[in-house]
A and B are shown apart, each in its own frame.
Chain A
Amino acid sequence: MSDRWRAVSADGEEIVGIQTPDGPRVVRRAVRVEDRDGECHAVTRPVVALCVCDLSQRSPWCDSTHKSIPRKPRSG
C-alpha cells in the first residue's frame, strides 16, 4: 500500500481511512490531502478515494486506472 498521501482532518489529525481490496484507499472527513513534498490538495467531497497504485492521472485521487492492470494482492 502506498503511503504517498496523508489525509488530514479539520483538527489537523491524520485520517488513515480504509484500504479496499484491489482498489483505492477510501477516506472520510478529510479537509486536505498532503503529498510527500508537502503539496496540499483540498478535499471537496464527503468521501474521497486515494490512489495507491501510482497510475492515476488525477493524483491523489483514484481514477480507476488500476482496473486496466492485472490484479495483484492488496494493490490498487
Chain B
Amino acid sequence: MHLPRPRGPLSAAVIADLAGEPSESLLDVQVPGTDVLTDGDFQLALWTLYELHYRGFDEVPDDREWDPELIALRGRLEAAFEAALRRPTYAFVQQGLASGDDVANQIVAVIDAVGGPPVASYLQRRATRDQVLDFMSQRSLYHLKESDPSSFVLARIGGRAKTALAELLHDEFGAGDPERLHADLFADALEGCGLDPSYGAYVDMTPATSLAVNNVMSLFGLHRRLRGAALGHLAAFETTSAVPCRRIAGGIERVGLAPVVADYFHEHVEADSVHEQVALRDICGSLVADEPSVREDVLFGAAACAYLDDVAGRELLDDWQHNARWRPDRAEAS
C-alpha cells in the first residue's frame, strides 16, 4: 500500500515524515483539541500512524513502527481522540451501569441507548447501485483487515475470556480454511462489484468519521490499558451485525450485484449471530468476572462503537441524500 494523500497540515506533516521528507519536527506539530471525530486531517494522520502496526506502507521502512517521535505524536492524537469519545458516551455508559449487574445486559442497554441511523434499511430498500458501491468501498478499509485489531488483545487477557476470544477469531480467520478468511471473502465481494480489492485502496475517499470507526479499534487494540474497551467494542460490533447484514444482503441482491457480493453478508448473518453470544457472555462476561475494574471500560468500548457507527452512518446517509450519484472523484480512483 502507498501512503495516502494528505488532507491538511497534520496529515501532511506525518506523511512527509514517513516519506523521508520531513517538513518540520513532529514534536512541534499542532494537534487540534476539538471536533476531532469529524476532522479528516486528524483522523487520516492517526490512521496513517496506526497502519504502521498492521501492513505498513511501501515507501516506509518497517522499523519506523516504533520510532519514538511517531509514537509521541500518536500519543498526543490518541489523548484527544479518547477524550472526544469519552465525553459524548459518558451518559450511555451510566445508563448501562444502571441497567442491572449482568454485563451482557449492560452492553445491550448501552447499544439501545445510543440507537443508530437506518443505513442497513436504506441499503435494503432504497439505495442505488452506486450507493451500494459507495458503501462497499468505505467499508473496505476495515473489512480487508477484519478482526486484526481485536487480535492484539489476545495476548493481554487470560482464562475463559482468552479462550472465547480465540474461538471467535478462529472463526473470523477462516476456522482453519484459508478460503474462508473473512477479509478475503470481502476482497472477493469487492471484486464482484468491480471495485479494487487491494488493501487500503479507498483510503483517500474515506470520510473522517469512517476513518474514526477504524481508528477506534486500533486505539483500543493497541493499549493494554483499554483491553476492556476493546472487548466491549467487539461485543457491540457483533451484536449490531447480523440483522443489518441480512438487510444489506437483500439490498445487494435488489440492485443486481453478483452473488459473491451478498455471500459475504449472508455469512455474517450466521457467524455474527454466534459471535454476539460469545462476545457478550464468554468474552466480556468472563473478563469482567476476572477483572471487575474493567466493567466501565467494557461499556465505554460498546458505547464508542455504537456512537461512532451512529455518527458515520448519519454522515453517509446525509451524503447520499445530497449526492445520489457515484462521486466523480471516487469513479476516477476506482
Contacts and interface: CB of A to CB of B under 8 A. Distances in A.
Contacts, number: 49
Contacts of B246: 63-64
A73 interface: no
| Size range of the chain B interface in the assembly | 10 to 19
A24 B270 contact: no
B171 interface: yes
Given A46-B170, A67-B243, A23 B269 contact: no
Interface string B250-276: 000000000000000000011111101
B281 interface: yes
Contacts of B175: 44-46
A74 interface: no
B170 A63 contact: no
Nearest to A26: B277
B272 to A, nearest CB: 8
28 contacts: A20-B277, A20-B281, A23-B277, A24-B273, A24-B274, A26-B277, A26-B278, A44-B175, A45-B171, A45-B271, A45-B274, A46-B167, A46-B170, A46-B171, A47-B167, A47-B274, A49-B273, A49-B274, A58-B269, A61-B270, A61-B273, A62-B270, A62-B273, A63-B246, A63-B270, A63-B273, A64-B269, A64-B273
Q: What bracket does the count of chain A residues touching chain B fall in?
A: 10 to 19
A23 B281 CA distance: 12
